[in-house]
C-alpha cells in the first residue's frame, strides 16, 4: 500500500481506526448526549444497511483501516447486530472489532456477539448507585446493565472495560466505588471528561471533572497511582495502576489534556456521513456514492479527502469553539 493510499492527514497522523455508528437510536436518555423527549431519529431507510457498511469497510481496508469500533446511539438496539459483526470479522485486513454499549441489552446478546467474533467491549456506565444512574440516564435500567456486565464476563470478554463520564456536582461520589470495583474485580474503569456534545447544548466547562482532579481524589484515598506505558500510542486513555498493584484505571482527558496529536480515528455515521473528528463541523456524505453510481474508488477518494482535511484537534478550550450541530447520539463515541 503506497503512502498516497493511506489515510494520512496534513499533520502526518495515520488513520487505521474506523468508528462506525450503526444507529442513532437508544434505549436510555443520558442528559449529556440526548434530549429527554421528542427525539427525532433518522428514518430507517436512511440508515446504511449491513451490506453497505461492509462495503465501506472493505474500501477502508484498502487504505489501511484495520480496527473497527461499533457505536450508536446504542448499537445493540440495531436488530441482528451479531450478523454485522460476523460479516466484518470476515473482511480481510480487519484485526480488531470493538463495541461500545450501555449494556441494557447485553444480557441476551453478549454470547452471540462473542461467537460472531467481537473482540472487545466497552460498557458505558457512569454510576454504581442506581439513583445517580437514574439521574444521568433518565431511565430505570441499572439492574439490566449489571446483568449485561455479568453476561459479558460469562461470554469470555476480558478485560471488562467500563467507561464512566465524570460530571462535577453529580458523579464525584462514584469515583471511589468505581475504583474499588477495579481493585476487587477484573474490571478496568476509565473516567471520561464531560464533553460538549450534548443535544441540549447545555455543556459548561465548570461541569468538567478534570482527569487531574479525579487522579487527586483517587490518590488521596489509595495513595500514588503509577502510570502504565501505552501499548497503543493512539489510545485515548492514560492508564494507571494502584501502588499496591491491585487494579487498573484509565483517565480520558479529552477536554483538559487533549490527545488529538496522536489521533488515528475517523467516523462513519449511521446515515453514511464521514467525519474526520468527533468535533468536526464538516461531513462528507458518501451514501449517494454507495447507493447510486459510485465506485469503490470514488468512496476511497472521499475517505482520503475527508482525512486530508482534518484539523489539528478540537477547539473546546478556545473562545471560538463551535459545538457541532450533530449531537453525540448521532455521531457515536
Chain residues that interact with ligand SF4, rule: CB under 6 A: 258-260, 263, 265, 277-279, 313-314
Q: Between residues 185 and 323, which has the closer beta carbon with respect to ligand SF4?
A: 323
Paired residues of 225 in beta bridges: 242
Taking the complex as a whole, how short is the minimal distance between the CB of residue 263 and ligand SF4, in angstroms? 3
Nearest approach, Cβ of residue 72 and ligand SF4 (Å): 17
Residue 252, beta-bridge partner list: 192
Alpha-carbon distance of 106 to 176, in angstroms, equals 25
Which residues are CB-neighbours of 56 under 8 A, at least 6 positions away? Answer: 20, 48, 268, 286, 290, 299
Choose between 87 and 311: whose C-beta lies nearer to ligand SF4: 311
Q: Minimum distance from CB of 207 to ligand SF4 (Å)? A: 18
User: Residue 19 Cβ, how far from ligand SF4 at the closest point, in Å?
Assistant: 9
CB of 216 to ligand SF4, least distance (A): 24
Distance CA 14, CA 234 (A): 10
Smaller CB distance to ligand SF4: residue 85 or 277? 277
Closer to ligand SF4 by Cβ: residue 199 or 331: 331
Residue-wise DSSP of 202-249: ---GGGB--HHHHHHHHHHHH-PEEE---SSTT-SPEEEEETTS--EE
CA pair distance 145, 151, nearest whole angstrom: 10
Distances (CA, A) of 88 to 48, 85, 290, 314: 14, 5, 17, 30
- Which CB atom, from 192 or from 263, has the smaller least distance to ligand SF4? 263
Amino acid at each position: 500500500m503506497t503512502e498516497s493510499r493511506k489515510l494520512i492527514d496534513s499533520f502526518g497522523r495515520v488513520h487505521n481506526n474506523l468508528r462506525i455508528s450503526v444507529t442513532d437510536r437508544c434505549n436510555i436518555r443520558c442528559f449529556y448526549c440526548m434530549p429527554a423527549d421528542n427525539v427525532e431519529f433518522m428514518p430507517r431507510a436512511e440508515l446504511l444497511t449491513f451490506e453497505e457498511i461492509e462495503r465501506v469497510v472493505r474500501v477502508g481496508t484498502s487504505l489501511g483501516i484495520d480496527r473497527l469500533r461499533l457505536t450508536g446511539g446504542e448499537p445493540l438496539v440495531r436488530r441482528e447486530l451479531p450478523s454485522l459483526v460476523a460479516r466484518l470479522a470476515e473482511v480481510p485486513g480487519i484485526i480488531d472489532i470493538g463495541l461500545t454499549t450501555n449494556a441494557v441489552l447485553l444480557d441476551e446478546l453478549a454470547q452471540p456477539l462473542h461467537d460472531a467474533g467481537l473482540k472487545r467491549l466497552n460498557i458505558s456506565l457512569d454510576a454504581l448507585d442506581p439513583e445517580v444512574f437514574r439521574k444521568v440516564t433518565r431511565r430505570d435500567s441499572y439492574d439490566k446493565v449489571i446483568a449485561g456486565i455479568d453476561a459479558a464476563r460469562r461470554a469470555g470478554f476480558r478485560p471488562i472495560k467500563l467507561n464512566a463520564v465524570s460530571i462535577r456536582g453529580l458523579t464525584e461520589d462514584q469515583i471511589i466505588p468505581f475504583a474499588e470495583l477495579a481493585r476487587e474485580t477484573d474490571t478496568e474503569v476509565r473516567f471520561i471528561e464531560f464533553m460538549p456534545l450534548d443535544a441540549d447544548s447545555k455543556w459548561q466547562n465548570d461541569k468538567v471533572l478534570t482527569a487531574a482532579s479525579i487522579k487527586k481524589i483517587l490518590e488521596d484515598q489509595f495513595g500514588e497511582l503509577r502510570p502504565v506505558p501505552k501499548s497503543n500510542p493512539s489510545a485515548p486513555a492514560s492508564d494507571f495502576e494502584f501502588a499496591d498493584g491491585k487494579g487498573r484505571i484509565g483517565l480520558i482527558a479529552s477536554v483538559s489534556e487533549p490527545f488529538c496529536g496522536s489521533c488515528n480515528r475517523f467516523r462513519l455515521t449511521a446515515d453514511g456521513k464521514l467525519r474526520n473528528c468527533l468535533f468536526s463541523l464538516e461531513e462528507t456524505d458518501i451514501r449517494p456514492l454507495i447507493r447510486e453510481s459510485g465506485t469503490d474508488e470514488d468512496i476511497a477518494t472521499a475517505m482520503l479527502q475527508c482525512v486530508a482535511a482534518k484539523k489539528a484537534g478540537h477547539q473546546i478550550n478556545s473562545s471560538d469553539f463551535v459545538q457541532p450541530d450533530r449531537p453525540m447520539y448521532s455521531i457515536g463515541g
